[in-house]
Amino acid sequence: MNSFQRFIILLSFLLGHCIFFASAQHFNPKPFQRQVQRVVEKVSPACVKISRYDSTGQKRFGGFSGVAISADGFVLTAAHATITGESYLIEFPDGKQYRGTALARIPVVDAAMIKIDSAGSQLPYCEMGWSYNLKVNQPCLSIAYPGSLSEIKSPVVRLGYITRLITPEGKMQTSCLMEPGDSGGPVFDLYGRVIGLHSKIERSLAVNLENPIDNYRKYWELLKEQKDYPKDFFPDPEKPGTDLRRQIRQEPELTQLPITFAALIKAHRNTSVGISSKMGSVNFSAWGSVISLKNNSKARYVLSKSSIVAEHPVLITSGLKNLPAVVIKRDPENDLVLLKAEGLEESIVLDNSKPNVFSKKDEGTFLISPSYMDTVRIGILGNDSAEVEVLSSPSLGVICEDQDSSIVKITGFRTSVFEKYGLKVNDVIDSLNGEQITSTRQLNFNGAAMKPGEEVVIGIKRANERLNIHGLVERAPKTMNKHLADEFEGGMSLRSEGFNHVFIQDAMVRPEECGGPVFDLNGNFRGINIARLSRTSNLALPADVLGAFVLNALEGQSHLTINRNKI
């Protein structure tokens, strides 16, 4: 097997690319999973979130990551995130907070250090490793605080491997995904030693560049000074030492660990369906999870992501059968929809008496998202429970002007949002979700109260017609602070925020694949993928939330008729 083939296999297995299982494989991933979980438990307490104080010394803004590497408060991070001499708030996962002062920053290697003021000698910390003797395909872990989850209190874990030992600019390349906010976050080997710190990305999801830990070893004494070195300053290296234990430790290589989930995927392929639906002239695609209840296992239902499932959906089974379905109920809070269809054979049995929820000790668990197409997305549990606030501004995408005291006329479109659903220039808007609209100001005010992904009905007058145009509120286009991380392959889900209880994984689930089931290595149903949030994070609703919604939706439902004419 050549290096390119090894790269494709590893990328597929660990970062969730679609894979087709054509042959049996031999590796049992459970011991590897346990090793990952032990490392996460060991090092997470020392992975810190860093925020800068404003001029009053109180309010915090911005945020990036770092790692404590001594009990008396030395913290490693990225030079591009710090300002020498400035004060920072250092937050540990246990909730303890400390004030720290930025010491030296060496831009040429993107290395910086912060010293916690009056830390004593009680802080959790991690061991520094070595980067000079790492190997391509060696597994590694990232633990950091992504900016897309700005309010999260505990860090997010990602699994990857080393893809390049040294780039022309002196970085180490890994497949551990990163985004703004992760800067300065540590990368560990599977013995819990820091081997690099997050530095930068490129557009490709496969390119994540780390500052090798040996740079911190080489310039250790310089970093302890409070000095801002020029961008073109190349300091003389100190002696970083060598890793003597390397001679007695055997690092596993992922090329020797062909992780296989073929049996699990085969067992659950029929619990996933594709969903096709249409809103106006716009086609929607989603994945769905076939479920039943313990007390009525013969009745089949389908759970999916509501904002990408329109009325009158059609289900696509693993046997490529098309089955019409009806919408039973929608849950706007969790962006869920429950469908009913006939002809579904297998299901995931929901048992609300035995809630199957994650805890912190489960972080690092392999998660598998099979589909009706015999493909799979694979990731690990990065955070067991998170709340994701609504940060994006909504947009109807229309430019309007008041014609008189009661007429609001469309004069153009900022985006193609509602133009694609059927709105046209010169249409007169007279209602929004049934409420009369008499001014552009009122239209903008009502629109601003909505969430991206929310369905809206715009009532219009066109010539002698009166029409209701159905569409989804879009996310307002970003005009400032754009980042390369916003341009990742597949993009984020239209509704990716406003969830009160989700778990986070690093599988590369595309927006149209949301709604599909998530299992662990033991075949336990853990939830459904509900949103691709960012370059690094995919959100999933846990099984207990789904069970509560299904029971509520089916209360009082005794019979449902499926209209086969609406396909």
Does 257 score more than 60 pLDDT?
no
Does 14 score more than 80 pLDDT?
no
pLDDT, mean of residues 181-203: 95
Q: What percent helix, strand, coil does the chain show, rounded to 5?
A: 20, 40, 45
pLDDT, mean of residues 299-318: 94
Mean pLDDT lowest for which of 76-80, 133-137, 237-241, 282-286? 237-241
Q: What percentage of the chain carries pLDDT values higher than 70?
A: 86
| Domains assigned to the chain | 38-255 (2.40.10.120), 262-389+488-554 (2.40.10.120), 407-473 (2.30.42.10)
The pLDDT value recorded for residue 387 is 93
Encoding tokens for residue 163?
């893809």
Q: What percentage of the chain carries pLDDT values higher than 90?
A: 61
Strands 272-279 and 517-519: unpaired
Encoding tokens for residue 47?
């992975």
Does 237 score more than 90 pLDDT?
no
Q: Strand (E) positions, 182-312?
A: 186-188, 193-201, 208-212, 272-279, 282-293, 296-305
The pLDDT value recorded for residue 140 is 94
Q: What is the CA radius of gyration of the chain?
A: 26
The pLDDT value recorded for residue 55 is 62
Does 447 score more than 80 pLDDT?
yes
Q: How confident is the model at residue 245 (pLDDT cuts 50, 70, 90)?
A: low
Does 489 score more than 60 pLDDT?
yes
Cα distances (angstroms) measured from residue 184 to each of 143, 144, 251, 253, 530? 10, 8, 24, 25, 29
Query: pLDDT tens for residues 67-89?
Result: 999 999 999 999 999 999 999 99
pLDDT, mean of residues 211-234: 92
Query: pLDDT tens for residues 313-361?
Result: 999 998 888 999 999 999 999 999 999 999 998 999 998 777 678 999 9
The pLDDT value recorded for residue 8 is 41
**What own/partner pairs with CB < 8 Å and gap ≥ 24 does 558-563 have?**
560/326, 560/328, 560/340, 561/326, 562/324, 562/325, 562/326, 562/340, 562/341, 562/342, 563/324, 563/326
Q: Is 441 helix (H, G, I), strand (E, B) or coil?
A: helix
The pLDDT value recorded for residue 498 is 92
The pLDDT value recorded for residue 246 is 52
Does 25 score more than 50 pLDDT?
no
Query: Which residue blocks in 408-562 are alpha helix, DSSP H?
Result: 440-448, 543-554
pLDDT, mean of residues 456-473: 90
Encoding tokens for residue 406?
């009661």
Identify the H or E element spanning 48: strand 47-53
Does 567 score more than 70 pLDDT?
no
Average pLDDT, the chain: 86
What b/e readout covers 117-142, taking b as 16+ CB neighbours within 10 angstroms? Answer: eebeeebbbbebbbbeebebbbbbbb
The pLDDT value recorded for residue 384 is 95
299 vs 536, higher pLDDT? 536
What are the φ/ψ torsions at residue 128 (nearest 5 degrees)?
Answer: -80, 135
Does 401 score more than 60 pLDDT?
yes
User: CA–CA separation, 82 vs 184, rounded Å?
Assistant: 10
The pLDDT value recorded for residue 18 is 39
The pLDDT value recorded for residue 233 is 84
Does 312 score more than 70 pLDDT?
yes
The pLDDT value recorded for residue 99 is 93
User: CA–CA separation, 400 vs 410, rounded Å?
Assistant: 4
Query: pLDDT tens for residues 498-551?
Result: 999 999 999 999 999 999 999 999 999 999 999 999 999 999 999 999 999 999
Does 11 score more than 50 pLDDT?
no
What's the one-letter identity of residue 52? Answer: R
Does 300 score more than 70 pLDDT?
yes
477 vs 40, higher pLDDT? 40
pLDDT, mean of residues 160-181: 94
Q: How confident is the model at residue 259 (pLDDT cuts 50, 70, 90)?
A: low
The pLDDT value recorded for residue 416 is 63
User: CA–CA separation, 403 vs 424, rounded Å?
Assistant: 16
Write down the residue that tokens 């551990």 correspond to. 176
The pLDDT value recorded for residue 6 is 46
The pLDDT value recorded for residue 57 is 61
Q: Is 267 helix (H, G, I), strand (E, B) or coil?
A: helix
44 vs 395, higher pLDDT? 44
What are the φ/ψ torsions at residue 561 (nearest 5 degrees)?
Answer: -105, 130
